Chains A and B, each alone.
Chain A
Amino acid sequence: MSKKLYLVLTIVVALSMLLTACGAKATPTSQPPAAEKVTLRVLVHQNPPMVAFMEEFNKKFQEKYPNITVDMAVVNANELSTVTQTRLTANDVDVVDMFGFANGAQPYMKQVDPPNWQQLIDAGLLMDLTGQPFLKNYDASAIQDAGTYNGKVYEINLGRVSYSGIYYNKDLFTANNVKVPTTWTELVTACETFKTAGIPCMTAGGKDGWPIFVGAYGLLGSIYPDQAALVEGLWTGSIKWNDANSLVMWERMQVYARDMMEEGASGIAGDAAPGRFASGAVAMFPGGTWYGPAIDAAQPAFKWGYIPFPGSDNADDNKYLFGKYDQGWVVAAKTPNKDAALLYLTEFSDPANYQAFVDAVGFIPTQPTAKLSTGIGAEVAPYLANFRVGYEQYWIAPKGAGQFANPWATYFKPFGTDDDPKTLADKVQGDLQAGLNAVK
């Protein structure tokens, strides 16, 4: 028996030896910074082209300011807010990448909690950037909409994305003699033409849910072009999800989900959708401007265009692109490296550097002098004057609202279980009303 007795013992000894061996190697002695040297701690979310640009930028920045070392950490986007919170608490960060301020609590909203950026500012954790010279490089509207709270500026926003457009396959449109649709009726006809020819009309990453309802933003936007007013109307009761206007939207959403989307779209993952479109099998692909590079990567020779989703029969209502402010910079209020942090933002905001950033990342720029020179940039350029912030950036659901209280095309079959626009409209309004009643 004694042989067996010591087998486990041997393992434990072996493990602890490994441990000490590794301990000696892996416990590093971090470089002791010299007296006047500064380590600037930067936190960004993972977006490969942006991170690649930042690494390049940091290198140049350190060359220009040899006393500053940039220590940039990358985290996944859905962990960004948690890590921002913990690192600010630990006073372990100087410059943080934060998505554009959205979903601010409005006076007409009852019993809502302020969004996380507002909570951070109220707790005194973000630095007031008002009056910093580099702010002048940006669109006043971007500073105001995505970085200002109570009259003070806390964030410079670095770019916008739009999600209410449709990618279309130029070759298939030409081959089938279909004109690029500018109204809802034309879109319906186009889809019928393609389907008759045996070509699926639209694809999207239906498995993830949101690409379907985000794709239908044009339907929402053409009926309610002022999305801030829509949110206020829903809260105050002047707009209802089951009134006559909304009913038109639901009917069209059903057509979109049931007839326009290809069979099987509800099982495609969000990641896979641009590839599916680039394969050339499908005529259209409603989706965000960020998919452009992915389509090109999958099929470089593929010819595509991008138009706002024509949700209305009045072509004039279809000229808007809806979207959101993406990432931006904030500075920790308690940073011991304030000068270095401001220097970092100044350097980043330099028009040449900013242009390089936009080229790398593909955002719609927030500096008036910058140009979006990519393929998607050329496509969205004609509509940029009509860029509008989308509903989900304003909307805060009243506490107690049900899970159907949103204008989502995914409620319809085959993505959901609903089949009748009127019944669904009543259910959606009912779920919203339950919340509004609860917070009265």
Chain B
Amino acid sequence: MSAITSPKTSTNRRINWGRVLSYAVLILLAVIYLGPLLMLFNTSLKTMPSFMKDATSFATELNFKNFVDAWTKANFPKYILNSLLYTVSATAIYILTAIFVAFPIARGYIKHSGVVLTMFVIALFLPPALIPQFQLILHLGLYNNPIGYIMLFLVNPIGIVILVNYIKTLPKELDEAAALDGCGYFRFVWSVVIPLSKPAIATVVVLHAIGIWNEIIAPTIYLTNKDYYPITRGLIVFQGVYGSNWPTLAAAVLMLTFPMLILFIFLQRYIISGLTQGSVKG
């Protein structure tokens, strides 16, 4: 266990048992994670008849046609741009507003910051409000409108909770020092708090973006013009009341996953921003 708690253990003993144990846990979990995920990959390579016959047998035919089919039938080239537009713009607007909500709460720079935080914690489990929300968007004249759709994703209390709890760990002396240097509030948040909160911001961005990217009910209800469909809406072609075309759907999902996978791998560097983080405290 020693390696778990102290990252820099590099003793000269022959076998580092902490390391061995760590790998044992990682590999055991990896099997549990990989097994089911490989089923998806396997399915994406099967033909529909072979899937119908035996869903879990190894794909011997390597039917890459599923990927081509998925790409064209689900209208990938067109809808993926919409998905990107919604995900990127809603996430960018959200994260900016969220930081300016989280920082003063974490620092107590606004009156009743405890109450405001409680409000957001309550928002985590507010009852679903599909019909009232629909009527709101309709009356705002934003039904069947990308702006109205993006608006739906500008609130995410999970992000506020993560950010508040993270910003609390930043030393308060920073604020004082920056203020003495004549740094204004906005500039301080923008150029000091945001960079120092990279791990939390990256986490929130990943979680929020994935939520929008995978959303399926909201576009069905709010966007009825085909020009506005996100890619999840396109995937409906592979489903059916009396059975779905799972192989093509699996291929489509693998392609659909790709941008978010890249995003995660990219942002991971900021979530784990190196083990010498302590130095910023100076």
Contacts and interface: CB of A to CB of B under 8 A. Distances in A.
Interface stretch (B29-37, B114-122, B194-202): B194-202
Interface stretch (A86-94, A183-191, A304-312, A313-321): A86-94
Nearest to B209: A15
A255 B125 CA distance: 46
A6 B195 contact: yes
B49 A92 contact: no
Contacts of A23: 85, 89
A5 B239 CA distance: 46
A279 B92 CA distance: 52
B54 A9 contact: no
B165 interface: no
B4 interface: no
A49 to B, nearest CB: 8
B157 interface: no
A86 B138 CA distance: 10
A4 B195 CA distance: 6
Nearest to B239: A46
A79 B237 contact: no
Interface stretch (A112-120, A132-140, A270-278): A270-278
Given A7-B195, A26-B85, A89-B138, A297 B49 contact: yes
Contacts of B190: 9
A56 to B, nearest CB: 15
A7 B201 CA distance: 12
Interface stretch (B15-23, B64-72, B101-109, B241-249): B241-249
B217 A79 contact: yes
A297 B241 contact: no
Interface in B207-228: 217, 220-221, 224-228
Contact of B242 (A47, A73, A74, A272): A47
B54 A47 contact: no
Interface in A12-44: 12, 15-16, 18-19, 22-23, 25-28, 30, 41
A43 B177 CA distance: 62
B24 interface: no
B167 to A, nearest CB: 14
A46 B236 contact: yes
Interface of A is mostly: helix
Given A16-B92, A90-B143, A275-B55, A294 B81 contact: no
B212 to A, nearest CB: 13
B63 interface: no
Interface residues on A, range: 35 or more
Q: By CB atoms of chain A within 10 A, which of B51, B52, B85, B217 has the most?
A: B52
Contacts of A278: 52-53
Contacts of A22: 81, 84-85, 88
B220 A8 contact: no
A278 B52 CA distance: 8
Given A5-B192, A71-B226, A298-B49, A271 B246 contact: yes
Contact of A48 (B82, B225, B240): B240
Given A12-B96, A16-B92, A46-B237, A275 B53 contact: yes
Contacts of B226: 71, 73
Contact of B227 (A30, A77, A275, A290): A30
Given A75-B220, A83-B220, A279-B54, A92 B195 contact: no
Contacts of A297: 48-49, 52
Q: By CB atoms of chain B within 10 A, which of A12, A86, A290, A299 has the most?
A: A86
Contact of A299 (B53, B131, B143, B242): B53
B92 A15 contact: yes
A323 to B, nearest CB: 14
A82 interface: yes
B52 A18 contact: no
A15 B84 CA distance: 10
Contacts of A8: 194-195, 198, 201, 270
A23 B236 CA distance: 24
Nearest to A28: B227
A324 interface: no
A291 interface: yes
Contacts of A12: 92, 95-96
Nearest to B143: A90
Contacts of B52: 272, 274-275, 278, 294, 297-298
Contacts of A1: 195, 280
Contacts of A47: 240-242
Nearest to B99: A8
A105 B146 CA distance: 40
Contacts of A288: 242
A45 interface: yes
A12 B98 CA distance: 14
B236 A74 contact: yes
Contacts of B41: none
Q: By CB atoms of chain B within 10 A, which of A26, A274, A297 has the most?
A: A26
Contact of A86 (B49, B134, B236): B134
Interface in A232-280: 270-272, 274-275, 278-279
Contacts of B194: 5, 8-9
Given A7-B270, A26-B82, A19 B89 contact: yes
Interface of A: 1, 4-9, 12, 15-16, 18-19, 22-23, 25-28, 30, 41, 45-48, 51, 71, 73-77, 79, 82-83, 86-87, 89-90, 92-93, 270-272, 274-275, 278-279, 288, 290-291, 294, 297-299
22 contacts: A5-B194, A6-B195, A9-B190, A9-B194, A12-B96, A19-B85, A27-B85, A30-B225, A41-B224, A46-B239, A48-B245, A75-B220, A79-B217, A92-B144, A274-B52, A274-B243, A275-B55, A290-B242, A298-B49, A298-B52, A298-B53, A299-B49
